Amino acid sequence: MLKKAIFVPLALFIVINLNGQTINSYTSANSDLPGDIVKAVFVDEHGNKWFGTNQGLALFDNDSWVIYTTDTNDFAVADNEINDIAYQLTQYGSELWIGTVDGISVAAYDVDGITAATSYRSGDEDVTLVSNMINAITLDSANVRYFGTDSGLAIFAGQTWLYFDKDTDPEIPDIKILSLAAEEDSIYIGLKGASYFNAEGVARIQNKVDGYTGASTYVFPYNVPSAEVFEIFLDSEGLRWFGTGYGIIRHTLLKGKDDGKDMLISSENGLAGDSVYAIYEDPLKNMWFGTNHGVSKMNTSGQITNFTTSDGLINDIVYDIDFDAASGNIWFATEGGVSCMENALVNIPVQKLKNQILLSVIPSVISEYAEIRFNTPSKGYVELALYNTTGQKVNTLYRGYMNKGEQVYSLNVSSGKYSRGIYILRLHIQNNITTKKIIIL
């Protein structure tokens, strides 16, 4: 059995009330968080929070902590200094891919924590990593894993390792990859010092029908005004967001063209800071940005609200953001610990919504069919949609008007239309929104 360290949380933690919202913060001094530099946060299907720190991996279930380090188990994490975490649902269950400064770990887990783990490093048999410094991880719809390293891109497809660097393709330099994002036919790569290219900052691999056994095409369509692209995010409307050292680039791809329109959002437009490390879209389509000077929230009208240490954040350097759909809380991974903003979707009366609109999915782990039940308090507009965990809309299940009363919708996933994984079921009734996590096998 995998060894783990379990801790009961200390009674003391930082609580600040901000305009009716409570911000709770956890550090190594007031809780059992193993390290204060937190580069990654992930909320799993059980509502547990995973934090990748500079001193190990932490699991927090709101009551107690479980800590995984190289001291508690040699295989739980390749190294205690963690840069990124990515989720994958396999035929065996839920897994976390953990990128560290000295290799990659993949860990199977359940509601109680990690049940088994394996690590991969350059030099291991049948493992092709151009560098053990893993800065970013992403997975595509076919569950191919991509790892951004200090010296190129590594790919793990099935049980086959591939890599791209200046030796495999002259267009790929020996350069540090800071961020990755996947869509249906492309992998976007955020680079450091990308003035090597005619267009700086972002590379894109276009997938071919033969996958990665043959040549891929490299195109560089984005003129990003920074040689460092810390984050890439693809939103539910198909927009591409790039977090750079000069602010945020919002890129709109023009129909039928490979390039598009760019808009720069920086501190001159009200952004908290110009170095943008994290980008997230919540179920209300608000955009959240983690910067070097706090968090910015931009609503659908473009209005920006900033949150800093003076408002309750534990630290102004924010590396990652994730949303807990069950509670409505947003978690921030920072340079000085983690902060949780309760009821972060302040325009939604969360408690009132829970009392008035009931949403259930039976079963919540779906292999073929599921029955979705909800009630409409009055006649009005209803939208029922599926989102993936990166905030992208996967499918609109229903859009239109319904009468008052109990509603039933049958969800069929047996056709293979949906990839395995965690999804967010989002129910929008008039001015109210509620969400529920489901798993499709």
What tens digit of pLDDT does each residue of 216-249 get?
444 444 555 666 889 999 887 778 899 988 899 8
Q: Which residue has the higher pLDDT, 409 or 98?
A: 98
Sequence-distant (≥ 6) Cβ neighbours of residue 77 within 8 angstroms? 56, 57, 68, 69, 70, 98, 100, 105, 107, 117, 119
* β-bridge mates for residue 152, sequence order: 149
Residues 192 and 239 in one domain: yes
Residues 93 and 163 in one domain: yes
User: Last residue of some domain: 286, 307, 341?
Assistant: 341
* Predicted pLDDT at 345: 67
Residues 183 and 235 in one domain: yes
Three-class secondary structure assignment of the chain:
CCCCEEECCCCCCEEEEECCEEEEEECCCCCCCCCCCEEEEEECCCCCEEEEECCEEEEECCCCEEEECCCCCCCCCCCCCEEEEEEEEECCEEEEEEEECCEEEEEEEECCEEEEEEEECCCCCCCCCCCCCEEEEEECCCCCEEEEECCEEEEEECCEEEEECCCCCCCCCCCCEEEEEEECCEEEEEEECHHHCCCCEEEEEECECCECCCCCEEECCCECCCCEEEEEEECCCCCEEEEECCEEEEEEECCCCCCEEEEEECHHHCCCCCCEEEEEECCCCCEEEEECCEEEEECCCCCEEEECHHHCCCCCCEEEEEEECCCCEEEEEECCEEEEECCCCCCCCHHHHHHHCCEEEECCEECCEEEEEEEECCCEEEEEEEEECCCCEEEEEEEEEECCEEEEEEEECCCCCCCCEEEEEEEEECCEEEEEEEEEC
User: Residue 180 CA to chain centroid, in angstroms?
Assistant: 11
Backbone torsions φ then ψ of 127, nearest 5 degrees: -110, 125
Residues 214 and 314 in one domain: yes
Q: CA dihedral in degrees (91, 149, 229, 203; nearest 10)? A: -80
Task: Determine how many CB atoms are found less than 10 A away from the CB of residue 356.
Answer: 15
Residues 159 and 304 in one domain: yes
What tens digit of pLDDT does each residue of 69-128 get?
997 755 579 999 999 999 886 767 788 999 999 999 999 988 889 999 999 998 888 887
**What CATH number does residue 337 fall under?**
2.130.10.10
Residues 286 and 401 in one domain: no
Q: Which residue has the higher pLDDT, 356 or 358?
A: 358
Q: What is the pTM of this model?
A: 0.75
State what percent of residues in the chain have pLDDT above 70: 76
Q: Distance (Å, rounded) from C-alpha 60 to C-alpha 100?
A: 20
pLDDT band at 9 (very low <50, low <70, confident <90, very high): very low
Residues 89 and 223 in one domain: yes
pLDDT band at 275 (very low <50, low <70, confident <90, very high): very high
What is the count of structural domains for the chain?
2
User: Last residue of some domain: 285, 307, 341?
Assistant: 341
Residues 360 and 300 in one domain: no
Residues 358 and 264 in one domain: no
Residues 96 and 210 in one domain: yes
pLDDT band at 10 (very low <50, low <70, confident <90, very high): very low
Residues 198 and 308 in one domain: yes
Q: Distance (Å, rounded) from C-alpha 218 to C-alpha 168?
A: 13
* Predicted pLDDT at 159: 83
Residues 355 and 327 in one domain: no
**What CATH number does residue 428 fall under?**
2.60.40.1930
Residue type, 292: N
Mean pLDDT value across residues 195-205:
57
Range of 400's domain? 350-440
User: Last residue of some domain: 317, 341, 365?
Assistant: 341
User: Residue 302 CA to chain centroid, in angstroms?
Assistant: 22
